[in-house]
Amino acid sequence: MGGTRERWTSRVGLILAAAGNAIGLGNLLRFPSKVALYGGGAFMVPYILSLFLLGLPLMILEWVVGRTAGEKGRGSMIGIFGVFFKESQVVKTIGSLGVLIPFLIATYYLYIESWTLGYSFLSLFKAFYPERISLEYFLNTFRAYVSPSSWAVFFLVLTLLLNFWVLLRGISKGIELVAKVGLPLLFGVGCFLAVFSLSLGGWKGLEGLVFMFKPDFPKLKDFQVWIEAAGQIFFTLSLGMGCIAVYASYSRPKEDIVKVGLWTAALNEIAEIGLGGCIAIPAAFALFGASSIGALAAEGTFRIGFVSMPAVLFSLPFGFLLSFLWFFLLFIAAITSSLALAQPLIAFFEDELGWGHRKAVLVTMSAISVGSFCSAFVPGFIDELDFWAGTFLLVLFAFLEVLFFVWIWGPDRFKEELERDSFLRVPRPMVYVLFGISGGFLLVILYLWALSKMGQVLAVTSWSLWVARIFILISLLGLIILNLKTKKRG
């Protein structure tokens, strides 16, 4: 096999790496885009419910199963399913979704990550300097950049190489080191920009917070809002995609994984609502008014921060430096997450196929690069993958995790494993209630959404969207074939 598995060097390093895994563009760009697209408070109601009924239970579940499998040298969801279910190939095939999802997300996530790196350098060297500040100018600038421009391709290649280099360094010398430096810097810069955005125009940015938290109850009848909110919780906490479980598999013996999981969730929500919700939307409200939110949201997921923020920042003295800070903040957030998204496939190659670390990283990043270039050159590829991998499959796989690891494996055995080396003691009925509610909630969302939306989704005939779907199918089939080649382990 691939040798002795690495471990995190300290609890602080583990918490920061896990939080860095969760905190990313989902917090600072995807969250405000979803809030804007789905009516502010209308999105926040199912979002908060999803956090407590789905996010926290699933966070603890993935830490529990990841630690258990890691003690047996397994980290990918394929291996984790194998540990819990006697190496059943059928069950491990279901676990393939837990490797497929982060891989698919990584393919388009790294392209968006490269935008942040490109925009930070172009801001610093004053490539954006309009004669008149307008939303239209920065919208057109953004569209031209991601068309893709030659700069976009250059920074995509650079971003792929940076991720490759860090992943080659491994868990402790690569991912953990980046998190220890990046997370404190992220919160420092983020707090400055949040206060700055809220205070614009005599604190007019506070209107953005009112928009975000004022409920619009009629919109709650749209099941798409509910599945998008649940999907955002899983996306932002890196749940339902195997990343948390992989990180848990590298934890040290007797680690209190429940405490680590709660810290991870807390830091992520502080970043999401406290930073992501207090920067881009308030800035757009302050400079362009409420009418700008719909126009920005219509451009698609992740776009709002690339249009509203430079428009605001370049209207100020030393705006190019402020814009550099904003996009460099996004890059720090992005790279700590993209490293985590690549790790499940690397762990699969190392733990299940016995590959060496260098070979596993090289093949993983080569496959991700193919998807990243598709994201750059195929129209609609990003949003199609973000829907299937970043929303629908996350909710589906989360339901399968609850079904298999709690109900089929056994609530009592799960409770025993949960409490091992943990400060938390859970009454037996609480396990039944908590995971009964979370599993039922997920099933209802999937069922009602399928009734109301699946026909519309399948009716799409655009060639570019079918390219994305074929890419998904090829990736899944590849994982299933590789899984069949793994040897049964005792």
Give dist(CA 240, CA 77) in Å, integer.
10
pTM for the full predicted model = 0.90
- Evaluate if residue 39 carries a pLDDT over 90: no
Confidence of residue 1 (pLDDT cuts 50, 70, 90): very low
Structural contact between residues 330 and 116, judged by C-beta atoms closer than 8 angstroms: yes
Q: Which of 328, 339, 18 is nearest to 190 (CA)?
A: 328
List CB contacts of 15: < 8 A, sequence separation 6 or more.
260, 263, 264, 267
Give dist(CA 439, CA 449) in Å, integer.
15
Q: What is the mean pLDDT of residues 307-326?
A: 83
Place of tokens 């990736």: 475
Give dist(CA 284, CA 107) in Å, integer.
29
For residue 311, the model assigns a pLDDT of 76
- Evaluate if residue 26 carries a pLDDT over 90: no
CB atoms within 10 A of CB 368: 25
pLDDT in tens, 364-400: 999 999 999 999 999 989 988 988 888 788 889 999 9
How many structural domains is the chain composed of? 1
Q: What length is written for the chain?
A: 490
Q: Could you tell me the two tokens for 417?
A: 């494993």
Place of tokens 């950049």: 145
For residue 468, the model assigns a pLDDT of 92
Share of the chain above pLDDT 70, in %: 92
5 located within any domain = no
Per-position DSSP letters for 459-471, written without gaps between them: T---HHHHHHHHH
Q: How far is CA 188 from the centre of its chain?
A: 21
State the amino acid at position 63 in one-letter form.
W
pLDDT in tens, 202-244: 888 888 888 888 877 788 888 778 878 887 888 889 888 889 9
144 located within any domain = yes
Share of the chain above pLDDT 90, in %: 54
For 487, the 3-state DSSP assignment is coil
For residue 424, the model assigns a pLDDT of 83
Most confident of 144-158, 289-303, 415-429, 458-472: 144-158
1 located within any domain = no
- Evaluate if residue 284 carries a pLDDT over 90: no
Average pLDDT taken over every residue of the chain: 88
Q: Which of 187, 181, 105 is nearest to 375 (CA)?
A: 105
Give dist(CA 131, CA 177) in Å, integer.
42
Alpha helices in 388-488 (DSSP H): 393-401, 411-419, 428-458, 463-484
467-470 long-range contacts (CB < 8 A, ≥24 apart) are 467/374, 467/378, 467/381, 468/374, 468/378, 468/380, 468/381, 468/384, 468/385, 468/388, 469/384, 469/388
Q: Could you tell me the two tokens for 145?
A: 């950049």
Domain CATH number, residue 171 = 1.20.1740.10
Confidence of residue 465 (pLDDT cuts 50, 70, 90): confident
300 located within any domain = yes
Give the end-to-end CA distance of the chain in Å, rounded to a whole number.
Answer: 14
List CB contacts of 295: < 8 A, sequence separation 6 or more.
135, 139
488 located within any domain = no
- Evaluate if residue 11 carries a pLDDT over 80: yes
Place of tokens 């909710």: 395
Taken in order 442, 217, 236, 119, the sign of the CA dihedral is positive
Q: What is the mean pLDDT of residues 128-152?
A: 84
62 located within any domain = yes
176 located within any domain = yes
> 154 lies in which domain range?
11-483
489 located within any domain = no
For residue 333, the model assigns a pLDDT of 92
Query: For residue 406, how many C-alpha atoms fall within 13 Å in the half-sphere facing its CB?
Result: 25
For helices 56-70 and 257-269, the axis angle rounded to 10 degrees is 140
Q: How far is CA 389 from the centre of its chain?
A: 10
